[in-house]
Structure 1
Amino acid sequence: MKASFYRYMIAAFAAASMAATGLAFAQVDAAKSTITATSKQMNVPVEGKFKKFDAKVNFDPAKPAASSAQLTVDVGSYDLGDDSYNEQVRGKEWFDAKAFPKATFVSSAIAPAGAGKFTVTGALTIKGKTQNVSFPMTVAQQAGAQTFDGALPISRLKFDIGTGEWKDTSTVADEVTIKFHIVVPKKA
């Protein structure tokens, strides 16, 4: 149960990270894109995947400061590979998907950090709580598409993910890593 919720939370954060990555205001190729969240339950990594998300990105590698990204993740789509775990993480103690169905990320800055590398800064909102975050992102050109990859570690407790008995970090760690791989077809 804890592992499922933690995975779900991680996936939500991963989705937020992907939004931050700066996908062009072009349609994201959802079939090739992924957002995952990985937590540790009793020190064992547990990974879940967000199945539904949307990203809007305006990214120009020559002008990263003028670029922007927005990501919206359906937290109810978090999948830990087990229906009972999925239901648990959607509940009030974890994502409270009925009251807070979406997690969002809105970039405020995208800055160069080396060849094909950027630092993305913005506001991540999960379960009605907003935190300013910053994370590294790699951008590559591949066969008619731009790809955005990155990882964002977050504190689940800062977003009230895992309340009541689940606040105890000895069972489910506080840190969750959201990873994203976003593919955006190049504009013709």
Structure 2
Amino acid sequence: MMRRPAVLLLLLLLLGLGPAVPAAAQAPVLWTVDPAHSRLGFLFEQSGSRYEGRFARWTAEIAFDPGDLAHSTVAVVINLASADTGSDQRDELLRSASLFDVADYPEGRFLADEIAATGADRYEARGQLTLRDVTRDVVLPFSLTIADGRASASGRLGIRRLDYGVGQGQWHDTGMVGDAVTIVFELVATRAE
């Protein structure tokens, strides 16, 4: 048989008059990338001319809620061997030990667990980019709109390839291939059910 104070406490809790009980934190909304309408690429300079490449294979795990940025995260894994610049010879060189070295470092990664709003539909993802087993802190600015359960985002991140060891031997010289590289993306995703 319950004692009277225990019965009273139970009644107060049931009526919502008892001590506050913290609600479980809700996980941010999960998003599924639409690969047919999304693109991850890079801009670079070779012999004084600008070129564009893209990665044909990559995945992204996105948990994002504009109302809960503190728990929003992004994780992108890039298959570096899938780099396509429109030239078989250049793509083979990218995969070689002198540049991406896909035999030893097949993946690039971007992981962000700090996202902040910077304006209307504007955000920054603070995280780490890893290439050739070198990890550096980066800040990725991006724009994002969400309507009817569909998100569209785009952004660009400037890096220096030599900071990540992408350029060994003769390719350490920036006279042929520039040091500055811009990573660009356009992403379309839908709310995961």
Answer yes or no: same fold by TM over 0.5: yes
State whether residues 24 and 69 of structure 1, in contact with CA within 8 Å, keep that contact through their aligned partners in structure 2.
Answer: no
Shift, 1:185, TM fit: 0.9
When normalised by structure 1's length, the TM-score is: 0.83
Question: Percent identity over the alignment?
Answer: 31
Contact 2:30/2:192 (CA < 8 Å) preserved in 1? no
Aligned residues between the structures: 166
Are residues 1:73 and 2:75 paired? no
Work out whether residues 32 and 192 of structure 2, in 8 Å CA contact, stay in contact via their aligned partners in 1.
no
For 1:4-54, what per-residue CA distance to the aligned partner results, in whole angstroms no more than 9, with x for missing partners?
A: xxxxxxxxxxxxxxxxxxx96332111111001111112311110100000
Give the letter aligned to residue 153 of structure 1.
Answer: G
SS at structure 1 position matched to 2:33: coil
Q: Which residue of 2 aligns with 1:133?
A: 138
> 1:135 offset after TM fit, Å?
2.1
* TM-score normalised according to structure 2 size: 0.81
**Residue aligning to 1:34:** 39
SS at match of 2:162: helix
1:139 CA drift (Å): 0.6
1:178 is aligned to: 183
Displaced runs of 4+ in structure 1, greater than 3 A?
Answer: none
**C-alpha contact (below 8 Å) 1:38/1:177 kept by paired residues:** yes
Shift of 1:173: 1.2
Q: Distance in 1 between matches of 2:170 and 2:97?
A: 12
Q: How does 1:1-188 map to 2 (within 5 A)?
A: 25-142=30-147, 144-188=149-193
Residue in 2 aligned with 1:20? none
- Mean Cα displacement is larger for which, 36-45 or 65-74? 36-45
CA RMSD of superposed structures (Å) = 1.6
Partner Cα distance (1:70, 1:63) in 2: 17
Query: Letter of the aligned partner of 2:152 in structure 1?
Result: T
Unaligned segments of structure 2, at least 5 residues = 1-27
SS of residue in 2 equivalent to 1:45:
strand
Amino acid aligned to 1:170: G
